[in-house]
Amino acid sequence: MLLFQVSLKKGDFGEKCSIFTDLPGSGYDARVFQRTVMQAATVKQRALALGFSKVGIVAAVPGPETARLHQWLGQGNHGTLDWMGHPNRQDIQRVLPGVRSLVCVALNYYTPHAHSGDRHHGKISRYGWGRDYHRVLGRKLKALGRWLEAQGEGIQARWYVDTGPIMEKAWAERAGIGWIGKHSNVITREFGSWVFLGEVLTNLELEPDRPHAEHCGTCTRCITACPTGAITQPFVVDARRCLAYHTIENREPALPPAIAAQMQQWVAGCDICQDVCPWNQRFAQPTTEPDFQPYAHHRAPLLAELAQMTEAEWESRTRGSALRRIKRSQWQRNARAALGTTTVEHPDTAPEPLPAAAERPQSPLESSQDSFL
């Protein structure tokens, strides 16, 4: 196949952009073979100007995360989340054919409010306190994608924020945003793990950043603190044991007895492994995004009210919130479990105890690069 080079307008990039296309009559679509080179710094500046806390770039080439995902899935750690095994998750080219780079972003969502210690109040994970992060990040990512496409003819951009088959944590680590901690969340030096992730896929060839080194060291606080032993070994989370998975994704009428016995007031997600992380305790800083300030009814809801929630109350409480994913029956179920009033299918059967960390089956998997959230 013969190619020739044509120039594009400079746009905002300060240097000539180029695109390789086919000679006339070659029979190939020129856009498929686009190879555009531009200044990565300009793209990053634009992302930061849109309000993102961090931005990094990674080349769209395969990495070790695919094999690790296979191992994680093979152990059944995904529970009922069958979409984790979608083929597109394992091949970024199937998500956007011709993709050359991923622009990965992070947005700090931390607000300095404590969870209630009152046993009559439920606990909701910080990610769900304010406005739906899909909408907040989506608005910014859409603007970044449109800006990229406006820089030259044939430029493609497709954005995602926890909405597609993307191993966003692995890509974020490889883009230098942060590293995947032993609790499976991405930890940044500047904000801890209190960040939402998003990415823009593009057929532009951008200079990549260096992958971030792992800095958990010998710390095992998150593993020790998990009440259900969901972190079965460093970097490996078993969704079937996780409070976040069960309170959000489990659609069954009743929670497993071993989970219901360890609710600790959590009714929507769980922040235990992040609350105990030294990086969060030392480096968390308040977000500058107004949309992430907590709604009053999300910080410390009364469990008794949640247990009797009506459809109208569910509609009002979850409007504009990522918590809308949790249906009314789930809220009621979770609240009853937290209150200790759950009716289980086999009340004569005592909850099966969870094995101690030292007794849990070990796996040769060193790092799970993707989890269920």
Q: Match 């083929």 to its residue by tokens.
A: 87
DSSP element (H, E) containing 43: helix 40-49
Residue 337 in contact with residue 255, Cβ under 8 Å?
Answer: yes
How many CB atoms are located within 10 Å of the residue 126 CB? 22
Token output for 90: 């394992």
CA dist., res. 186 & res. 179, Å (int): 5
Residue in 82, 91, 118, 162 annotated catalytic: 162
| Annotated catalytic residue 162 | yes
Distances (CA, A) of 85 to 76, 174, 242, 371: 11, 21, 19, 11
| Bridge pairing between strands 186-187 and 179-180 | antiparallel
Backbone angles phi, psi at 288, to 5 degrees: -100, 5
Residue 228 in contact with residue 263, Cβ under 8 Å?
Answer: no
CA dist., res. 24 & res. 37, Å (int): 23
Residues known to be catalytic = 162
